[in-house]
Amino acid sequence: MNITDLLSNWTESTTEGNLDELLQSKIEPMVDKATRDLVEDVVYCWFLPILTILGTTGNVLSCIVLMIQGLKDSTNIFLFVLTVSDTGNLLTNGIRRVECILGKFDALLGMNYYMVTLPQMKVITIIFSRFTGVITMLISLERCIAVTRPMKVRIWFTTKRVWIMIIALIVVVLTLISPTFFTMQLNWTTHPITKAPMAYVSLTDFYTKNIVVMNWYLSVFLTIMFRFIPVVFIFTTSVTIIIALRKSTAFQKATSSAKDEKLTRVTRMMLTICISYVIFNIPASIHQAFVFLYPEYNLRGSEKNVFYLVSAFGQLAEATNSAWNFVLYFALSEKFASTLKRVLCYSCRNLTIRKSIKRTATSSGGETKETPISATKPSNSENSKL
């Protein structure tokens, strides 16, 4: 644009009172659209699907191991519920991002899929993500009490009370986030050229009639409740646990008490889970802080490409946290690792036996060959290992 056109537009915009918009339009954005599209393609089409597959597989194995060990103590209950929440977060987010892969074959199909899953599936993803933060808060609180008040934790965190706490948190999270379901609605139209059906999302009448209250509730209240408070609370309790452990001679020196050693291992694993949550949720928290401090920084502003870019990395970090916990369980819990190995070995042994039976039946000309029960059914001693 030459200087004459710039002055002409400047005069017209000043007359219409749009000087700020003109100034923003002339500033070169920090990130161009090509870079944004490239990063979103890598994150949504490659990294997130891979994390979804690996993380879901690991979490399913975690659930199996924890159920075999028994949900009779607060530690296993917390880990089981956290794993279920992480799995829900990965699956719902992965289902939504299938549009990225579909869009490579058919752009309209990918866009329709994205719009169809946006109104409800996005909210369900948010529910799982926020519940992960809330249950991690409860884990950090339980470990903090276990270290600072070991006698009290047995009274306050019994099996029955832990389940009551979890159910209460589920109700609270669902109740507070449920208004988000009524903010968007799915609509259909036709493509102007191909006449193919096109989906699009619009704001509901409920949202538009209560836009001021809803904007405050969704953007401020829910963000503070489920984004800032969990990170600050978990960070504070984690620091308290570390300080308490350093001051306690029982954790500084190796003891012959098996009970103290078990408490040390459990606390180390739970503390690592809490710290991991804080680290992986820092990008999204900083992003939301910038949204609060700079209202012009949004998905329609001059730096909208940066907004989308940071949002993509925030989602990737949250998905990594949901897929990462399985690795922590295996690396930091000997009991979990040994149980997992027995489960996998038991499954491999059964698979080997079935393949052997199939080969035997094939080599005998298709005749069914009776196999002794002891050859196909594991002994009682083998079953007892699980």
Say yes or no: 126 and 111 in one domain.
yes
Which CATH number belongs to the domain containing residue 53 in this structure? 1.20.1070.10
| Burial class of residue 66, CB neighbours in 10 A (0-12, 13-18, 19+) | buried
| Residues 285 and 226 reside in one and the same domain | yes
- Residues belonging to the chain: 386
Residue 140 lies in a domain: yes
d(CA 254, CA 252): 7
| Closest to 52 in 3D by CA, of 25, 86, 22, 76 | 86
Q: Is 217 exposed, middle or buried (0-12, 13-18, 19+ CB in 10 A)?
A: middle
d(CA 216, CA 114): 26
Q: What is 70-122 written as a DSSP string?
A: -S-SHHHHHHHHHHHHHHHHHHHHHHHTHHHHHHHH-HHHHHHHHHHHHHHHH
Q: What is the pLDDT along the chain (386 residues), one digit of tens a residue?
A: 443 343 334 333 334 444 444 444 456 677 788 888 899 899 998 999 999 999 999 999 999 999 999 898 899 999 999 999 999 999 999 998 888 889 888 889 999 999 999 888 999 999 999 999 999 999 999 999 988 888 888 888 999 999 999 999 999 999 999 999 999 999 999 988 888 899 999 999 999 999 999 999 998 999 999 999 999 999 999 999 998 888 765 545 544 455 667 777 888 899 999 999 999 999 889 888 888 888 777 777 777 888 888 899 999 999 999 999 999 999 988 889 999 988 888 766 665 666 666 666 666 554 544 444 344 444 444 333 33
Q: For residues 305 and 299, what is the distance between their CA atoms, to the nearest angstrom?
A: 8
Do 188 and 199 touch, CB atoms closer than 8 A?
A: yes
94 part of a folded domain: yes
CA distances from 168 to 131, 158, 165 (A): 11, 15, 5
- State the residue for tokens 């990130």: 31
Query: Is residue 111 located within the same domain as residue 257?
Result: yes
Q: Is the dihedral of CA 330, 335, 338, 342 positive or negative?
A: negative
Distance CA 221, CA 139 (A): 23
The domain of 355 spans 335-363+376-386
Q: Do 282 and 358 have their domain in common?
A: no
- Dig out the tokens for 12 from the structure: 């017209």
Q: Indicate whether 182 belongs to any domain.
A: no
- Which DSSP state fits 377? S
Domain count of the fold of the chain: 2
Q: Assess if residue 318 is contained within a domain.
A: yes
Co-location of 256 and 352 in the same domain: no
What integer pLDDT is reported at residue 379 of this predicted model?
Answer: 42
Q: What is the pLDDT of residue 37?
A: 87
Residue 214 lies in a domain: no
Q: Residue 79 has which token pair?
A: 């880990």
> Would residue 2 count as lying in a domain?
no
> Does a structural domain hold residue 202?
no
Task: Report how far residue 159's alpha carbon sits from residue 71's, in angstroms, rounded to the nearest whole number.
Answer: 8
Residue 141 tokens, joined: 């609180």
